[in-house]
Amino acid sequence: MLARNALEILLASPRGFCAGVDRAIQIVEQSIEKWGAPIYVRHEIVHNKHVVQRLSDLGAVFVEELDECPDDRPVIFSAHGVPKSVPKEAAKRNMIYVDATCPLVSKVHVGAERHYSEGREIILIGHEGHPEVIGTMGQLPDGVISLVQDADDARNFMPKSDKGLAYVTQTTLSVDDTVEIVSILEARFPDIAKPHKEDICYATTNRQEAVKILSQRADLLLVIGSKTSSNSLRLKEVGLREGIKAAHLIDDYSDIDWNWFDGVKTLALTAGASAPEDLVKGVITACNEKFEVTLTEVNIRNEDVVFKLPRALEQ
């Protein structure tokens, strides 16, 4: 029997579920327990097909819009947040609804509303079409918030008035990209108002920092997460920016092309904030079947954040 090649796996920590994702999943599970199936969820509760499939098997029905939901069944709003018009319409229809918006996304909403109430024009740094961006822009009247997606947008942005500017950001952006965009805006508009505390969430920041460290020591980076997951996509980009030879975003071990491992001695492995830990274990098991694996967990920071469940489910 031929000896298997050695492979060192550097396992990023923290990785996987953040507090907001964990809370959102619990909300769906406990809503099914409380009200029975089916319960409806407007948009994917989090961007991970494995999580969505498991909750579907329990009795969750995922829809894109509220008008796909019957009046007599509970509906849950996803962790990404929704425009104000959505709960308003649900209340008008006398629906039972539970808002699973991540509290850190809600903080961005509150910040945008505060700036608006103080008379400022608002810039949202984020990616067009992402549910979180749609939800944040939907907190205020149409046209109040201007979207800036990249450094070029920041250079070309022109205020609509002279009443003062403020910016807020999507929570799952690249930390480095956002620093660049903010520095451009602050250089152009020195008096621009900023968030009291950075809007990019702790989990996004921690996972990107871990990838930066691991990318200096590895030949290949695998990020477990869905293609629709903003924070997972950013992890792959961070690895490539740090100079790792190759980086791939995979849903699970079945996406692995073993040709990627030609000449690879060290693998950096992480998971986006909406990817469950069993998918990480699946990749490690698959690697164990091909290589003589040495596993090293690289912990850059401990996370102990926990968010309370909505009152309707706490009772």
Whole-angstrom CA distances from 247 to 53, 169, 186, 308 are: 26, 26, 33, 35
Catalytic residue among 8, 44, 121, 132: 132
* H-only helix segments in 138-201: 151-156, 175-188
The amino acid occupying position 84 is K
* Secondary structure (3-state) at 147: strand
> CB of 133 within 8 A of CB of 124?
yes
> CB of 18 within 8 A of CB of 273?
yes
Buried b or exposed e, range 183-196, using 16+ CB within 10 angstroms: ebbeeebeebbbbe
Distance separating alpha carbons of residues 241 and 182, to the nearest angstrom: 19
> CB of 69 within 8 A of CB of 42?
yes
Handedness of CA 114, 116, 120, 125 (dihedral sign): positive
Please confirm, yes or no, whether 209 is among the known catalytic residues: no
Structure token pair of residue 293: 């694996």
Distance separating alpha carbons of residues 214 and 218, to the nearest angstrom: 6
Distance separating alpha carbons of residues 73 and 171, to the nearest angstrom: 31
Distance separating alpha carbons of residues 238 and 205, to the nearest angstrom: 11
Handedness of CA 145, 150, 156, 162 (dihedral sign): positive
* H-only helix segments in the chain: 19-35, 49-58, 85-92, 103-117, 131-137, 151-156, 175-188, 202-215, 230-241, 277-290, 311-314
DSSP state of 4: P
Catalytic sites, residue numbers: 132
